[in-house]
């Protein structure tokens, strides 16, 4: 198999080749390394490609038997492998346990061949860190990939691997999906276990999943990675059938709410608004009932929740620093995280209760606003991928970071992390500049099945499989 052939397949397609013995697992690992060696100097997406990638463990019988897979360097852990969270504070840290996510990935046949860049502690929607440098977008090297699943987005978009791990608290799967032309699902809260140590991370907002290029890979990944374990905070209702089986099921006649206005301070780009409206018309032509909706929450309440998750997420850094024999200061943390950490230390115990109350109110308000809809259709991002250095978290106050980065640019994203609803960014369009435009589909809680079916319908209506960025393994100049 040649490199350009390898990079043309999605994960399901590569697994089928392995099952038919048309290619071996070792050959795929070597091709992934070749793609990495060609692409990574341009992108800076992979912080480490394992020296032993050709012999890493994984089942041959799973849905993804033999497929190379990259791990985002935050959230999921591999015993004995580096886990540095994009931060100098964690430099050299090697956990002693596999996360359940990693266990299930290997059982599904995925071969973890390396780890990808991430913004420091997952804090930014951009794609640069003091530790890892700038991760560049294969659609335009001068544009951001988005964060915090930066390296995974760039690596999948450029064909280094067809699928990679990602995690999302305020939009960190869906942002790179939108900016890089990928499929990025944030599953329902509880669908993917965060165990054994991150069962309810980010005040219940953060979940782990993948970035990929096709809806069938998304569905198969749900089948592989879903499952509850002892210690998980609650049990989520299981699906009626496998998600791969849902690909062939009809969507029925759905009630769809459509967002065509800004939900926060950053204004919605008119071109993206038009693409959402175009998607709505196609869904209406499919027989669905479409109705425009306004912002389903108070932006000030939303900001309080995002601020709370940010502050509370830094409250344990002293524990981490002590365990690693380090101090929390400007040599171990970027400026924005250091400011957040120092502010968090002075918050009263009552602050957490205040944050939980705002989160409760958001869940109630959104639930009431969208209760009559089976699906909500929104932009993923209010704009296309920004040029590097448009703004920097190193130059922002915390208030500016929250208003612009965490809330403004992520105005359609984090709210559904708070409610726990499944939401996917689909690469339906390209902008006038040739940059990807993601459109978000949000389902009812625990109803990934409807999301899968609608996503498949839209993939057929707006086929994106043959789109390739200028920087792509096997064809890049």
Active centre residues (catalytic): 72, 148, 172
Q: Decide: helix, strand or coil at residue 451.
A: helix
Residue 349: partners with Cβ closer than 8 Å, 6 or more residues away: none
Find tokens 């105005």 and name the residue.
Answer: 411
Are 164 and 173 within 8 A, CB to CB? no
Please tell me the distance from the alpha carbon of residue 249 to that of residue 396, in angstroms, as a whole number: 48
Are 161 and 68 within 8 A, CB to CB? yes
Rounded to the nearest angstrom, the gap between the alpha carbon of residue 182 and the centroid of all alpha carbons in its chain is 10
Are 182 and 174 within 8 A, CB to CB? no
What secondary structure does DSSP assign to 310-361, as a single string?
HHHHTTTHHHHHHHHT---STTTS-HHHHHHHHHHTT--THHHHHHHHHHHH
Please tell me the distance from the alpha carbon of residue 340 to that of residue 399, in angstroms, as a whole number: 10
Please tell me the distance from the alpha carbon of residue 474 to that of residue 6, in angstroms, as a whole number: 8
* Dihedral sign of CA atoms 216, 178, 457, 466 in order: negative
Find tokens 């990928």 and name the residue.
Answer: 182
Residue 358: partners with Cβ closer than 8 Å, 6 or more residues away: 301, 304, 305, 308
Cα angle, residue 257 at apex, residues 273 and 419 outer, rounded to 5°: 100
The backbone torsions φ and ψ at residue 58, rounded to the nearest 5 degrees and listed phi first, read 170, 150
The backbone torsions φ and ψ at residue 197, rounded to the nearest 5 degrees and listed phi first, read -130, 0
What secondary structure does DSSP assign to 131-145, as a single string?
TTEE-EETTEEEEE-
Task: Output the six-digit token pair for 438.
Answer: 């993601």
Q: Say if residue 113 is preceded by a cis peptide, omega within 30 of 0.
A: no
């Amino acid at each position: 198999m040649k490199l350009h052939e390898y990079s043309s397949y999605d994960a399901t397609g590569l697994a089928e080749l392995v099952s038919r013995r048309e290619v071996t697992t070792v050959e795929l690992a070597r091709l992934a390394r070749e793609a990495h060696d060609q692409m990574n100097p341009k992108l800076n997406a992979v912080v480490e490609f394992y020296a032993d990638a050709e012999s890493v463990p994984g089942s041959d019988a799973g849905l993804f038997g033999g497929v190379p897979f990259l791990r985002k360097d935050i959230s999921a852990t591999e015993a004995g492998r580096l886990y540095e969270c994009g931060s100098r504070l964690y430099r050299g840290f090697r956990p002693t346990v596999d996360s359940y996510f990693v266990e299930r990935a290997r059982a599904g046949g995925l071969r973890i061949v390396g780890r990808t860049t991430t913004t420091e502690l997952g804090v930014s929607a951009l794609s640069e860190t003091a530790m890892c440098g700038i991760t560049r977008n294969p659609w335009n090297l001068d544009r951001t990939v988005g964060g915090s699943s930066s390296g995974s987005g760039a690596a999948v978009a450029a064909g280094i691997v067809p699928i990679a791990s990602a995690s999302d608290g305020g939009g960190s799967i869906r942002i790179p999906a939108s900016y890089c032309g990928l499929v990025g699902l944030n599953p329902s809260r509880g669908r993917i276990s965060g165990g054994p140590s991150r069962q309810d991370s980010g005040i219940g907002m953060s979940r782990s999943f993948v970035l990929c290029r096709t809806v069938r890979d998304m569905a198969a990944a749900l089948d592989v990675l879903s499952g509850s374990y002892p210690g998980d905070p609650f049990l989520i209702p299981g699906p009626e059938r496998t998600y791969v089986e849902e690909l062939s099921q009809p969507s029925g006649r759905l009630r769809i709410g459509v967002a065509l206005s800004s939900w926060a301070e950053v204004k919605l780009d008119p071109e993206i608004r038009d693409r959402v409206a175009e998607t709505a018309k196609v869904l209406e032509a499919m027989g669905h009932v479409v109705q425009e909706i306004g912002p389903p929450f108070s932006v000030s309440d939303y900001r309080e929740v995002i601020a709370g998750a940010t502050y509370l997420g830094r409250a344990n850094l002293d524990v981490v620093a002590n365990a690693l024999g380090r101090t929390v200061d400007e040599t171990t943390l970027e400026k924005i995280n250091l400011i957040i950490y120092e502010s968090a230390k002075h918050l009263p115990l009552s602050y957490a209760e205040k944050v939980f109350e705002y989160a409760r109110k958001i869940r109630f308000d959104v639930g009431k606003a969208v209760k009559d809809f089976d699906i909500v259709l929104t932009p993923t991002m209010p704009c296309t991928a920004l040029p590097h250095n448009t703004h920097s978290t190193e130059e922002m106050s915390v208030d500016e970071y929250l208003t612009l980065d965490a809330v403004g640019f992520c105005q359609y994203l984090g709210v559904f992390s708070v409610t726990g609803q499944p939401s996917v960014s689909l690469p339906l369009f390209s902008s006038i500049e040739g940059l990807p435009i993601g459109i978000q589909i949000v389902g009812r809680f625990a109803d990934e099945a409807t999301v899968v079916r609608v996503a498949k319908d839209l993939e057929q209506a707006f086929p994106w499989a043959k789109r390739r960025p200028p920087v792509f393994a096997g064809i890049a100049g």
